[in-house]
Amino acid sequence: MNISVVIPLLNEEESLPELFSWIKKVMNENNFSFEVIFVDDGSTDDSWKVIEGLKLENINQVKGIKFRRNYGKSAALNVGFEAAEGDVIITMDADLQDSPDEIPELHKLITEDGFDLISGWKQKRYDPLSKTIPTKLFNWATRKMTGIYLHDFNCGLKAYKNVVVKNIEVYGEMHRYIPAIAKWAGFTKIGEKVVQHQERKYGTTKFGLERFVNGFLDLLSITFIGKFGKKPMHFFGLLGTLMFMIGFILILYVGGEKLYYLAKNIPARLVTDTAQFYIALVAMIMGVQLFLAGYLAELTSRNSPNRNNYKIETEL
């Protein structure tokens, strides 16, 4: 099968028939064999009934997965990736803001140009400033922390090699960082394509400003896990050692100064009356705590059943 299209959705009953019809038209025009996997993330409208109807009419081209409750876009994508059978997997949102007309070019970039992952870039957006400005800040921070220079990490329109989606796990709200997850899984040929962004035709957006706060926290989490997930002692141990050494040097300075004044019969304050003493004490305590945190994290990591779960690309 050439292409699997994975579509996570929540309360999008109006747009689904039009979206599927558009996808089918593009696939037939380009002679692609395809499947469309709708993942209903706990919709409370008639989205599932619409999917059931599409399945009856297109039994070999439609798959439907329904969650009992709302788990989030990451969970929907992860389940969709597990079910996908195409050589190229394309994800898009169900609200008709992503254009299926982009599919042939995305497929070409993966199959002919050899990219592992192509991320869409909605260069011209039809969103309010309350959404576009935080998005720009979010993308800037993500570029700096991941080293992946994409303009639009959160674009729902992406294309992947099958092997990529079968070797990554998307959880929590990590769908924003799939390029970073793929990079740390060893898939480094990541590109982007300018794609058309359309105004929402039906319903209302499912995302609020809180996603940017959650997104920043997720960015810190995934950056740490990607770099230090299998070696936490390298992070906590280094910080702990530095903090302890700073405190220890300050203690030596305060103690040495006190001894010098005593040797010269110069009146001197009590050590406990100096700010340096308390700074040194706090630094040493924090250093020990950070070192112990790294040690315990290292023990946990070494006892994990997945500690040697390395992805092998080929073997002779």
pLDDT band at 236 (very low <50, low <70, confident <90, very high): confident
pLDDT at 46 over 90: yes
Structure tokens at 224: 């740490």
| Amino acid of residue 82 | E
Fold of 3-228: Spore Coat Polysaccharide Biosynthesis Protein SpsA; Chain A (3.90.550)
Q: Which residue has the higher pLDDT, 49 or 274?
A: 49
- For the stretch 178-205, pLDDT in tens is 998 898 888 999 999 999 877 766 666 6
**What value does the CA radius of gyration of the chain take, rounded to a whole number of Å?**
26
pLDDT at 310 over 60: no
**pTM (two decimals):** 0.72
The average pLDDT across 262-281 equals 83
| Cα separations in angstroms, 38 against 92, 93, 100, 290 | 10, 10, 15, 45
Stretch among 189-193, 207-211, 227-231 having the lowest mean pLDDT? 207-211
pLDDT band at 210 (very low <50, low <70, confident <90, very high): low
pLDDT value for 288: 92
C-alpha–C-alpha distance, residues 35 and 84, integer Å: 8
pLDDT band at 316 (very low <50, low <70, confident <90, very high): very low
- For the stretch 84-142, pLDDT in tens is 999 999 999 998 989 999 999 999 999 999 999 999 998 776 666 556 677 778 788 78
pLDDT value for 262: 81
| Amino acid of residue 272 | T
Structure tokens at 3: 């292409």
Find the distance separating the first CA and the last CA of the chain, reported in whole Å.
27
pLDDT value for 49: 95
247 and 287 in contact (C-beta within 8 Å)? yes
Instruction: State residue 314 phi and psi, 5-degree precision.
Output: -150, 160
5 and 90 in contact (C-beta within 8 Å)? yes
